[in-house]
Amino acid sequence: MDLGTVIGIVLIFALLGSAMTMGVGIGAYIDVPSALIVIGGSIGALMISFKPSQMKQFTKIFMIAVKPPQTDVPELIKKLVEFATKARKDGILALEGDVNNEENEFLKKGLSMAIDGSEPDTIRDLLEIEMEQTNTRHKVHGNIFNQWGGLAGAMGMVGTLIGLVAMLLNMADPSAIGPSMAVALLTTMYGAIIGNVFGTPIYNILGVRNDEETLVQEMILSGIMSIQSGDAPRVLEAKLLSYLPPANRVSQFD
Amino acid sequence: MDLGTVIGIVLIFALLGSAMTMGVGIGAYIDVPSALIVIGGSIGALMISFKPSQMKQFTKIFMIAVKPPQTDVPELIKKLVEFATKARKDGILALEGDVNNEENEFLKKGLSMAIDGSEPDTIRDLLEIEMEQTNTRHKVHGNIFNQWGGLAGAMGMVGTLIGLVAMLLNMADPSAIGPSMAVALLTTMYGAIIGNVFGTPIYNILGVRNDEETLVQEMILSGIMSIQSGDAPRVLEAKLLSYLPPANRVSQFD
Amino acid sequence: MDLGTVIGIVLIFALLGSAMTMGVGIGAYIDVPSALIVIGGSIGALMISFKPSQMKQFTKIFMIAVKPPQTDVPELIKKLVEFATKARKDGILALEGDVNNEENEFLKKGLSMAIDGSEPDTIRDLLEIEMEQTNTRHKVHGNIFNQWGGLAGAMGMVGTLIGLVAMLLNMADPSAIGPSMAVALLTTMYGAIIGNVFGTPIYNILGVRNDEETLVQEMILSGIMSIQSGDAPRVLEAKLLSYLPPANRVSQFD
Amino acid sequence: MDLGTVIGIVLIFALLGSAMTMGVGIGAYIDVPSALIVIGGSIGALMISFKPSQMKQFTKIFMIAVKPPQTDVPELIKKLVEFATKARKDGILALEGDVNNEENEFLKKGLSMAIDGSEPDTIRDLLEIEMEQTNTRHKVHGNIFNQWGGLAGAMGMVGTLIGLVAMLLNMADPSAIGPSMAVALLTTMYGAIIGNVFGTPIYNILGVRNDEETLVQEMILSGIMSIQSGDAPRVLEAKLLSYLPPANRVSQFD
Amino acid sequence: MDLGTVIGIVLIFALLGSAMTMGVGIGAYIDVPSALIVIGGSIGALMISFKPSQMKQFTKIFMIAVKPPQTDVPELIKKLVEFATKARKDGILALEGDVNNEENEFLKKGLSMAIDGSEPDTIRDLLEIEMEQTNTRHKVHGNIFNQWGGLAGAMGMVGTLIGLVAMLLNMADPSAIGPSMAVALLTTMYGAIIGNVFGTPIYNILGVRNDEETLVQEMILSGIMSIQSGDAPRVLEAKLLSYLPPANRVSQFD
């Protein structure tokens, strides 16, 4: 997963870099003030758009996109089915030890409640609130990058307009027109690169990650409800396997 | 919170200002008639788009974006759990004093109804209408700024077209072409700055604030329902903590 | 309300007009064939987009945006609470006289049915169909203006392309290039003005008006249901006041 | 209805045609290869986007937009109320003759099932599937024209880029630049005309037609349910009239 | 179906190719570095946007668009009705042989469960999870192509900006300006072609295919529920035929 993101970023910059080198050299495309306008300006606009506590997570979210936490779904199904089997044989209290060693916080919380004898409706309520809130927080995270793309593009346009106005007021020396306009276009280029390498794609992958986590949470919720109501493990497994693409469905009962 | 908005605005104008100064000086970018077309024109279009009573709140809403009313959520959870504990021990009438001192209008209203013995369904009905209407009003507020961004951009384009036509009809003196076109572009630049500093970002942050308030109201509604039905305070706390990100969950029972 | 729309339109045209006058004079911006292409062309496209019976209401809808029918909401609440009080004391038949004098058709219809002894479910059914259909009709009305904005912009672009092609084929006389291109740009300018003064803003305000009317109808439906089921007037008032912003809530019982 | 579409199309082409004639003559705007790129290219992209069986209906759908099948709604209400009256007096079997002569397939199907003694839930189920599927098919039809607009615009841009590249590689003869660029712009113009005369407007009117048909089907479904359950014809009529705008409501009982 | 896609692609490239040949020859439009920037850059951005396991299916999904798996819907209806008839006469166990030969995995799974005596609610649950997950996976597939279109367009713009900057810095030799700019425009052209031949249209057809498959699955689910509850085959057929357009409805009972 991280591999895809890293290869994608490297590939893009390698291609753009060699295109620049082939023409007038990569140095002509680097202009610190232009970069400051686009990056600083768009991050300034993001600081207006979101709360400081949300903005602080900027790099953390970026890292989640690049190096996402993984859940091994077939492993999860196996574990839930084992829990169901054990609970059916020895009672739900037999799961106490497993819960303490469980690393997935969502599963741990739900299962503890089931062992403590909470009502199924209470457990479902709590886990659903948690799922919804997690989802909402992820949406905000994705939105930061989505907005970044749009705002970087807009700041790039503002920078180009500033440069164009300066150029238009200094047309006495015709030989300066080309280079001035070239510099003016750099902010638009920076804005487009930020938007289409970091903005939209990071927004997309965060959405994919959120869908994955929501799926895992749905499966866990489904599993806990089954375990508590004492469903047959085979039925639970059939249900959980329905969440997977047909090719990945391997039953431990076959 | 206010800090983020203020730093963001200052950062953007510092960057744009220095970019202007480095070129032809900031004075070349200031043109009062152009600013009037974009600001006045877009506010005129907003006056067509919304009711005067909605437009009157323009600066008030802006201040909410910059300096939002805060609710201390962990404090709120603590308070609701305390209310639940007291109501369970001494009956719901014991909360009468607390209600009178309560500053959150939504909590005060719901709790008063519960103490007055209103039916749970009636309380839920009323509070849900209030939540929905608050949400609707906030949506309109955000929409004013969202529309402002779009309309300022459009008025900027109209201003540039007016300037371009004037320039095209006066091409006898070639040395005037550059400066005329520079002025014509200023309205587009103003429109883009308004849209991307005040339009979209203020719209975004108002949405974030609304989500926060809705969350607080949902938690209060959930709390009042629990208090009235005499739920165990521990269960209520567990439910309310589910609304928070995992890292912020601190139980007063541990 | 009408005032806002009128001031907005006047403000925009005053600003654009003075910008035109300051440059080459307002006359240079008036070109009847260009205006015909944009206005006629976009209205032609609207005639394809909507039914003649919908298009016939074009000016009528425009007048609703400019001079909307008003409902005095606090007055409505007062009236509904009075009806509830009377019905509770003297029976629902006591409202017969009030119904005959009632001007709001929606309230009149619902209340007549209640007096005639229709089932609550039947009344709710009918009034909800009516609300939904009203809403749907209003959406179509708003959509006419929304589409007008987009189509006028597009026809403006087509007009500019027609002008550009003509200019490009007649470049023998360089002194004619400027004026030809100036005229070509006028259609784009007309399209942008129509879209951003009449299109989007009228669409917006019609949405605001529709939300208002829906709110009033919801309150009336809520009131009729309460009156018929003999709810306490105080409870009805509390419910209706929840629809208002907190600052506007004045109870007649306090 | 057809009249509106036809007048709209004629009006647009008359205006655009005279604008062309006033300048360099309509002949300069006709270029068969350019038209082929835009029309052929966009239809090619549509063939990738939809199934052949959907594309085959292209002209049929266009004719529905231009000459829509009409349902006389007041007549329909009258008929449904008559059916209800007859069924209430003489039993639902008395409608057998009317059903055989009924031309509206949806009404015929539903009524036959009612006469055959099908369960109300079965009838509702079947008619709702039919309504939903009709709606889905209409959405696809509208979408073909919506996509056509976008794809024609894009193909117009590709055509202009092809022309621009050719022009830029042949700048030796300056007198050829204008005409070359004029031809290059034609594809953009064709794309904009297709999109804004045939694309968006046909998409719009198909949506309006679909809303109409859905409304008629909802009224019929409502009517059949009432007839089967033996509701009073007056109540049925009141319900059906609620679907109409207030001005069009004429009761046959008054 | 495949035919439509193939004809569409061939038609577009034939038209664009002849337009290129008519001007400066097709060779002038082929530039490998430009193509690499657009194709490689957009695929790099896709690799950031999606998981490697999703990207691996890129060509497989493309082939589904070009050569989709087909379900013969009338045949399916016939089969489901036959199953219902058999199950009604000889009991549901009589279908065991048919299930083993069934090729449609969804039908096979649902019917096996029915034969194994699973509860109707359990079967519905499982099949609905499967339908929803299939749908979600298809949405991701479509989204890859939708995003490809947008990102290819953006990378085309970045490429053009890189070329423009290089050209603006090398204006000493005026005769080189035309060709440089021509090459710079090629990336924009490539981006537009990818977006409007492979991006949007493939996204569209994948949506059409998904709707088809969802419809088939809904019909199968409906059929299995009917078979299990022992509904009359005639009623089941009537229900299934409602999913078809009126012209395609042929009953085997007539």
Q: How confident is the model over E24-67, as pLDDT tens digits? A: 889 999 999 999 999 999 999 999 999 988 888 888 888 888 88
B183–chain A nearest CA distance, Å: 8
Backbone angles phi, psi at D204, to 5 degrees: -60, -50
Q: Grade residue D246 by pLDDT with cuts at 50, 70 and 90.
A: confident
Nearest to D51 among E4, E189, E242 (CB): E4
Residue of E253, E40, E241 lying closest to E148 (CA atoms):
E40
Q: Grade residue A246 by pLDDT with cuts at 50, 70 and 90.
A: confident
Longest dimension (CA), chain B: 91
Q: Grade residue A4 by pLDDT with cuts at 50, 70 and 90.
A: confident
Chain B residues with CB-CB distance to C201 below 8 A: 45-46, 48-49, 151
Chain D residues with CB-CB distance to C113 below 8 A: 238
**Count of other CB atoms within 10 angstroms of residue D230:** 11
pLDDT > 70 fraction of chain C, expressed in percent and rounded: 99
Between CA C160 and CA C167 the distance in angstroms is 10
Give yes or no for residue B1 having a pLDDT over 50. Answer: no
Q: Which structure tokens are listed for B254?
A: 């541990």
A122–chain B nearest CA distance, Å: 8
Give yes or no for residue B176 having a pLDDT over 90. Answer: no
Question: Which of the other chains make 3 or more beta carbon contacts under 8 angstroms with chain B?
Answer: A, C
Task: Give the residue from chain E lying closest to A249, CA to CA.
Answer: E130
Between CA A91 and CA A115 the distance in angstroms is 9
DSSP label at E195? I
Q: What is the DSSP string of chain A?
A: -HHHHHHHHHHHHHHHHHHHHHTT-GGGG--HHHHHHHHHHHHHHHHHHS-HHHHTTHHHHHHHHHS-----HHHHHHHHHHHHHHHHHH-GGGGHHHHHH---HHHHHHHHHHHTT--HHHHHHHHHHHHHHHHHHHHHHHHHHHHHHHHHHHHHHHHHHHHHHHHHTT-SSGGGHHHHHHHHHHHHHHHHHIIIIIIHHHHHHHHHHHHHHHHHHHHHHHHHHHHHHT--HHHHHHHHHTTS-GGG---S--
Report CA torsion sign: D44, D48, D50, D52.
Answer: positive
Between CA B197 and CA B205 the distance in angstroms is 12
Nearest to B49 among C193, C195, C204 (CB): C204
Give yes or no for residue C1 having a pLDDT over 70. Answer: no
Contact (CB, 8 A) for C120 and D165: no
pLDDT > 70 fraction of chain A, expressed in percent and rounded: 99
Chain D residues with CB-CB distance to C51 below 8 A: 1, 4, 205, 208
Q: Which structure tokens are listed for C131?
A: 């609300």
Chain E residues with CB-CB distance to A62 below 8 A: none
Nearest to E154 among A65, A182, A196 (CB): A196
- Per-residue pLDDT, D66: 81
Q: A12 and E140 in contact by Cβ < 8 A?
A: no
For D154-198, the pLDDT digits (tens) are: 999 999 999 999 999 988 888 888 889 999 999 999 999 999 999
Nearest to B105 among C20, C24, C246 (CB): C246
Backbone angles phi, psi at C117, to 5 degrees: 85, 20
Secondary structure in 3-state letters for chain D: CHHHHHHHHHHHHHHHHHHHHHCCCHHHHCCHHHHHHHHHHHHHHHHHHCCHHHHCCHHHHHHHHHCCCCCCHHHHHHHHHHHHHHHHHHCHHHHHHHHHHCCCHHHHHHHHHHHCCCCHHHHHHHHHHHHHHHHHHHHHHHHHHHHHHHHHHHHHHHHHHHHHHHHHCCCCCHHHHHHHHHHHHHHHHHHHHHHHHHHHHHHHHHHHHHHHHHHHHHHHHHHHHHHHHCCCHHHHHHHHHCCCCHHHCCCCCC
Q: C166 and D23 in contact by Cβ < 8 A?
A: yes
- Per-residue pLDDT, C194: 96
A206 to A61, A213, D202: CA distances (angstroms): 8, 10, 37
Chain D residues with CB-CB distance to E3 below 8 A: 52
Chains D and B touch (3+ CB pairs under 8 A): no
pLDDT > 70 fraction of chain E, expressed in percent and rounded: 99
Task: Give the residue from chain E lying closest to A179, CA to CA.
Answer: E169
Within 13 A of E4's CA, how many CA atoms are on the CB side? 20
* H helix or E strand, kind and range, residue C103: none
**Count of other CB atoms within 10 angstroms of residue E114:** 23
Q: D66-94: b or e for each residue (b if 16 or more CB lie within 10 Å)?
A: bebeebebeebbebbbebbbbbbeeebee
Between CA E198 and CA E9 the distance in angstroms is 9
Mutate to test the interface with D, among E189, E214, E226, E229 (most CBs of D within 10 A): E189
For B220-244, the pLDDT digits (tens) are: 999 999 999 888 899 899 999 999 9
Residue of A116, D16, A169 lying closest to C45 (CA atoms):
D16
pTM: 0.93
pLDDT > 90 fraction of chain E, expressed in percent and rounded: 69
E242–chain D nearest CA distance, Å: 5
Give yes or no for residue E2 having a pLDDT over 80. Answer: no
Q: A40 and B188 in contact by Cβ < 8 A?
A: no
Q: C162 and D28 in contact by Cβ < 8 A?
A: no
For C40-53, the pLDDT digits (tens) are: 999 999 999 999 88
Give yes or no for residue B15 having a pLDDT over 90. Answer: yes
Q: E48 and A238 in contact by Cβ < 8 A?
A: no
- Per-residue pLDDT, A34: 94
Chain B residues with CB-CB distance to A127 below 8 A: 242
Q: E195 and D33 in contact by Cβ < 8 A?
A: no
Mutate to test the interface with D, among E2, E145, E196 (most CBs of D within 10 A): E196
Give yes or no for residue A231 having a pLDDT over 70. Answer: yes
Chain B residues with CB-CB distance to C196 below 8 A: 45, 151, 154-155, 158
Q: Which structure tokens are listed for E33?
A: 């570095």
Between CA D202 and CA C100 the distance in angstroms is 46
Task: Give the residue from chain E lying closest to A68, CA to CA.
Answer: E51
Chain D residues with CB-CB distance to E175 below 8 A: 171
pLDDT > 90 fraction of chain A, expressed in percent and rounded: 69
Least confident of B58-72, C68-82, C134-148: B58-72
- Per-residue pLDDT, D2: 67
Residue of B254, B230, B250, B242 lying closest to B83 (CA atoms):
B230
A232-241 long-range CB contacts below 8 Å, 24 or more apart? Answer: A232/A88, A233/A81, A233/A84, A233/A85, A233/A88, A235/E118, A235/E122, A236/A80, A236/A81, A236/A84, A237/A77, A237/A81, A238/E113, A238/E126, A239/E122, A239/E125, A239/E126, A239/E129, A240/A77, A240/A80, A240/A81, A241/A77
- Per-residue pLDDT, A172: 81
- Per-residue pLDDT, A1: 47
Q: C208 and B154 in contact by Cβ < 8 A?
A: no
For E102-111, the pLDDT digits (tens) are: 989 999 999 9
Segment D192-213 shows an average pLDDT of 94
B177: amino acid identity, one letter = I
Q: Which structure tokens are listed for A179?
A: 């280079």
Between CA A35 and CA A33 the distance in angstroms is 5
Chain A residues with CB-CB distance to B16 below 8 A: 37, 41, 158, 162
How does the average pLDDT of chain D come out, rounded? 91
Mutate to test the interface with B, among C38, C175, C196 (most CBs of B within 10 A): C196
Q: C178 and B161 in contact by Cβ < 8 A?
A: no
C123–chain D nearest CA distance, Å: 9
Q: E3 and D169 in contact by Cβ < 8 A?
A: no
Q: D1 and C51 in contact by Cβ < 8 A?
A: yes
Cα separation of the two ends of chain D: 31
B123–chain C nearest CA distance, Å: 9
Contact (CB, 8 A) for E198 and E148: yes
CA-CA-CA-CA torsion for E192, E193, E194, E195, nearest 10 degrees? 50
Give yes or no for residue A164 having a pLDDT over 60. Answer: yes
E59–chain D nearest CA distance, Å: 16
Task: Give the residue from chain D lying closest to C125, CA to CA.
Answer: D239
Tell me the three state secondary structure of residue B173: coil
Residue D79 CA, chain-centre distance (Å), reads 26
Q: D168 and E189 in contact by Cβ < 8 A?
A: no
**Count of other CB atoms within 10 angstroms of residue E137:** 15
A190/C52: higher pLDDT: A190
- Per-residue pLDDT, C2: 67
Q: D28 and C129 in contact by Cβ < 8 A?
A: no
Between CA C165 and CA E156 the distance in angstroms is 26
